Amino acid sequence: MAAAADRQVFETAASWYVQFQSQPPSLAEQKAWQLWIDSDPAHLAAWNQMEQLQRHLGTLPQDLKRRALNSGQQRRQVLKLLLLAAGTGFVGWNVQRHTSLGNVWADYKTGVGQRRTISLADGSQIQLNTDSAIDVSFDAAQRLIQLRAGEILVQTGKVGDQRPFYVQTRDGRIHALGTRFSVHQMPNSTRVGVLEDRVSVQPAQSSTAALILNAGEGADFDSRHIGLRHPFQSSEVAWINGQLIVLDARLGTVLEELGRYRSGVLHCDRSARDLRVSGTFRLDSTDAVLANLQASLPINVRYFSRYWVSISHSVD
């Protein structure tokens, strides 16, 4: 009976989430959603899991949204479609743990808004960003970090260890060549950035030669292809110091990044997304960042609840 109840909670969260992804909610819908969230801790846990799925999936497909809004569509079908898109199953979720079951069993993990530093036996250091999870597997042949989710900054040990050091994501493998580098598992690709020395990048399903990235270079890759090299600056890993540094960035992009560090909905209307933002912001206080943005940009920031914030372009 408990499993059935948990599944129903998840189905309800899925229904709310797809509906709100498809069109802005009315005030009545916002109030109804908030009442549901506040009525049981398991409801908030289910909602947080929907956000985790979204971060792994990226924007929900239009076909999924359209079918979910059909008048005859039931919540169970919404759940089925979401889990199919996520490549997972209900067994991978537990409302008591507030996270996917796969990440529950990770060797090291962080929650939303948390950061953590891990020191390994070989002298290497791994810094985990918000909502991240890794497994560590060292043996006689190799040193392997499996990035399950999120983002890490790696400083390989400098103690003369001759075993190769790898970071594995679902898209492929990064071979560290005595270096300091960042790896971010994104919804449809992996982003690598090098701060010191070099790394070698090899997509999982590609037979082409690996790409060598040098200090100051980055690239995105999926399981088959590697994108173009691009500059990679230390400001892109300012999160290790609890900072978000942006220069002439879109507000929509800044809010997407900020949303990784807080639970709930951070909605920005279309007319405000292309406003430009520059500054250094503290990730440990996302509400203060939103207040700062409101003070410096022509926007209104409205809190419908602790977990629902709407940003709109202000009209003089």
Instruction: Please enumerate in sequence order all residues whose Cβ is within 8 A of that of 76, keeping only pairs 6 or more positions apart, or say none.
Output: 11
Paired tokens of 210: 């690996």
Q: 62 versus 132: which is more confidently predicted?
A: 132
Coil, helix or strand at residue 308? strand
CA 217 to chain centre: 22
**Does the pLDDT value for residue 101 go beyond 60?**
no
* Ranges in the chain annotated CATH 3.55.50.30: 242-313
Mean pLDDT in residue range 293-315 = 87
Collapsing DSSP to helix, strand or coil, 116 comes out as strand
Residues 126/240, Cβ–Cβ less than 8 Å: no
Per-residue tokens: 157: 């040990």
Name the phi and psi angles at 133, rounded to 5: -150, 135
**pLDDT tens column, 232-246:** 999 999 999 999 999
Sign of the torsion formed by the C-alpha atoms of 206, 210, 211 and 213: positive
Measured distance CA(276)–CA(287) in Å, rounded: 19
Whether domain 242-313 has CATH 3.40.718.10: no
User: What's the pLDDT tens digit per position in 146-186?
Assistant: 999 999 999 998 667 889 999 999 999 999 987 899 999 99
* Architecture in CATH for domain 107-234: Sandwich (2.60)
Cβ proximity of 68 and 50 under 8 Å: no
Where, residue-wise, is CATH 2.60.120.1440 in the chain?
107-234
Q: What is the mean pLDDT of residues 211-235?
A: 95
